[in-house]
Structure formats: C-alpha cells, structure tokens
Amino acid sequence: MSAAPPSSSPPKASPAKGSRRLGKGGRPSKAREGQISDAILDLASEMFASQGYAATSVERLAVTCRVGKDTIYRRFPSKRALFDAVIERLRSRVLQRLEAVASEAGTGIERLRRTARWFLTVNVEAELTAFKRIAFSEALLLDGALAAKTPDPIVERLTDIVRDAQDEGAIAEGEAEFIADQLIHAVATGPSIDAMLGGTAYATAEAQDAFFEKAWALFLKGAADGSR
C-alpha cells in the first residue's frame, strides 16, 4: 500500500492550554474594541496577580489571549502602560464599591463605621492583596506605580464621612484627613500585612468582625470628643 501524499500545507498548531481567543478577524467595531481591551485587562490582571510583574510578559499574554502582540500594543504601548491600566481599573472599581457603601442611609458615625468595616474587608481580598504584594516586592522596578494618588479619591471619600461625624459631634474636631488615615491604620493595616505575608488570620467574616470590633472601639476612644 502506498503512503498517502504529504499535505500541501503544514498542520495548524493547537492553541495554548488556557488560552482565550479575543479577535475574530476584520476591523472590530468601537464596542468590540472596548470588549477586547477589557478582556486583555482581565487576563493581564490574572497574570500579574499570579505571576508578579517581572514574570509576566506581553508575549505570553498575547498567546493566552490568542491575539497578536500588535493587538495589545495598539492599546497599551508597553508592559508598564498595561500594568498602569490594570491598576487604574482596579482603583476605579474599588472606588465604585466604596461609594455604594458610603452612600447608604444613616448618621455620619453609622456611615463611618460601615465604611471602616468595608476597608477591612477590601484590604484582605485576594486581588488587592496580590497587587500590594507586587508593590512591595518590586517597588524599585515599578517606581511607585501602586502608590496612592494625590489626592487619593478613596481617602477623600472617607475623609468626607469623618467630617460628617464631626459635624454631628460624634467624634472630636480636628484634621479630618489625619483622622481618616488613622482609622485606616487602625482597622486595615495589620490584617492587610498578614494577608500579604500569606496569613489567613482574617480570612473569614467572623475573624474580621472580631478584630474590627476591638479596632473600632479603640479608634472611637482616641477620637472621642473630650469635651462631652
């Protein structure tokens, strides 16, 4: 039996495991452009969070997305620009979540307590923890990419609620920005560091609640209006 004649074209390579095809050929519409950019940022966020900044490459991202590198570079001209876009989107989403919590009805002190509890939750979540870990481990390389903006809209929103509580007389008068910073340190800094180091002490809502009650009580004692 004679062998079958060789194929005139080489076989197509199989897609990389876990890859996701974003493009379908042809010039995408404006809406499709936005979808492609969002999908690239989704995958880039996963890769940066799981692998770190240095180990994540645009080449590997392109393979995972199943698009050409030029598709990525047209939207994000460098890996640093891509990383900055990931961080900016993360900040925007955190701010939207904060606004939803801060806008709920209640007195100033009730809203401040609720917002402070939210700060604890968000600061031990896996995604934010991963990017904080990048900030600390690769700070020189990233040149402050994760540093808070000046002014930071997230801290500004908390500061507004501090002022509301001050106006009610629930906490003492003073520099609202400083009080907001101290509140964040009181309720979130320790648990955030624990999470970045791989700890699980604050992994459950019950553990967070127990810590928060003590931290909040200590904050209120320090911020109480001594004239009353």
CA distance 87 to 93: 10
Per-residue confidence (pLDDT) for residue 207, from 0 to 100: 98
Share of the chain above pLDDT 90, in %: 68
Give the per-residue pLDDT at 224.
Answer: 72
Domain boundary among 56, 77, 98: 77
- Quick check: 142 pLDDT over 60? no
What's the mean pLDDT in 111-139? 91
Do 168 and 147 lie in a common domain?
yes
Q: Is 25 inside a domain boundary?
A: yes
pTM (2 d.p.): 0.77
Chain segment 54-112, per-residue pLDDT in tens: 999 999 999 999 999 999 999 999 999 999 999 999 999 999 999 999 999 999 999 99
Tell the residue number behind the tokens 């004239």, with chain if given: 227
What is the CATH number for 134?
A: 1.10.357
- The total of structural domains in the chain comes to 2
Mean pLDDT along residues 194-220? 96
Concatenated DSSP letters of 88-139: HHHHHHHHHHHHHHHTSSS-HHHHHHHHHHHHHHHHTSHHHHHHHHHHHHTH
Mean pLDDT, residues 127-142 taken together:
78
CA angle 102–151–169, rounded 5-degree value: 45
Q: Residue 94 is part of which domain span?
A: 90-223
Nearest partner of 44 among 83, 71, 84, judged by Cα: 83
To the nearest whole number, what is the mean pLDDT of the chain? 84
CATH of the domain at 66: 1.10.10.60
Q: In angstroms, what CA-CA distances link 82 with 12, 52, 67, 91, 177?
A: 30, 13, 15, 14, 32
Is 130 in the same domain as 23? Answer: no
Query: Is 5 part of a structural domain of the chain?
Result: no
Where among 77, 101, 118 does a domain terminate? Answer: 77
